[in-house]
Amino acid sequence: MPLSHRGRMMGGGELSPPTPPEDVVFDYTTFTEVDPNSRYTVGVASIAFAALPRNESSYIYKDMGVNYYSGNFKFDFDYIATAYGSAGHAEPWALANAVNNVYTLRTSGESLLQCSAYIFSGAIRFEVYEIIGTVVRSSGNYQGTWNSQYYLTVERDESIGTYGRLYLRVYSDAARTTLLSEVYLDLTAKLDFRYLYGISSINTGETDWLTGSVSNLTQVNT
């Protein structure tokens, strides 16, 4: 995602500081929806998912162009799980180079970065993954309360270590001033990505399900 921003000439001939790029607030209605059983209700700023099960392939993604995400990046999005059946999953964010639900991408040998949201013992958990071929690595997790709104940030910082670090931060407020948890994963490869996912099922064959919404996906550039 290389960006170049020139400064502008000020009086006296000196250059002003370059203007930072603006944040990108995504319109979910411009994404491609694969939803064979009508689980999703898509609005400009939100995707509601209803009884999204673990035995079907459904996902919403945007083609950003080959190798679009090639360096540092940062995304904000909001998430709430309002009902569930057993160990339901609904994955609110991923980057990949192929199109399918994120579990099938994993088992077919694709590489991706993913934020996972799922029910564990009646609580909602969030964590991030690096998946390279069939090798899956995960961060620690934050365990919260289902039916509570959370505000998440996923960030890749390539200045740390050999290949960078993937962070997940969970906040209790939309301004992202009250941090509940930060977990991270040191990456093991330099990967560039084409497809941005706004939501995905995991097609593992179980009937466990999750209801809720993901909203306000923003690529933070400032």
Length in residues, the chain: 222
Residue 8 lies in a domain: no
The answer to whether the CB of 222 falls within 8 A of the CB of 72 is: no
| pLDDT attached to residue 71 | 95
33 domain residue, yes or no: yes
CB of 117 closer than 8 Å to CB of 81? yes
pLDDT (0 to 100) of residue 78: 98
Give the span between the Cα atoms of 214 and 115, in whole angstroms: 12
Among 131, 126, 144, 128, CA closest to 96: 131
> In sequence order, which residues have a C-beta less than 8 Å from that of residue 152 and are 6 or more positions away?
76, 77, 78, 79, 92, 93, 115, 126, 168, 169, 170, 171
- Judge contact between 218 and 151, C-beta under 8 A: no
Range of the domain at 84: 24-219
Q: Is the residue at 14 inside a domain?
A: no
Residue 21's Cα: distance from chain center in Å? 21
Evaluate whether residue 13 is within a structural domain.
no
Q: Which CATH number fits the domain that encloses residue 125? A: 2.60.120.200
Residue 208 lies in a domain: yes
Indicate the number of domains in the chain.
1
Query: Tokens standing for 68?
Result: 């679009």
User: How far apart are the C-alpha atoms of 219 and 132, rounded to whole Å?
Assistant: 24
* Residues paired with 24 in a beta bridge: 219
pLDDT by 10s per residue, the chain, length 222 = 444 333 444 445 566 666 768 999 999 999 999 999 999 999 999 999 999 999 999 999 999 999 999 999 999 999 999 999 999 999 999 999 999 999 999 999 999 999 999 999 999 999 999 999 989 999 999 999 999 999 999 999 999 999 999 999 999 999 999 999 999 999 999 999 999 999 999 999 999 999 999 999 999 997
Half-sphere exposure of 190 (CA within 13 A, CB side): 9
Whether 86 is in a domain gets the answer yes
Predicted pLDDT at 13? 55
Contact 189, 209 (CB under 8 A): no
Q: What is the pLDDT of residue 2?
A: 41
- The reported pTM is 0.91
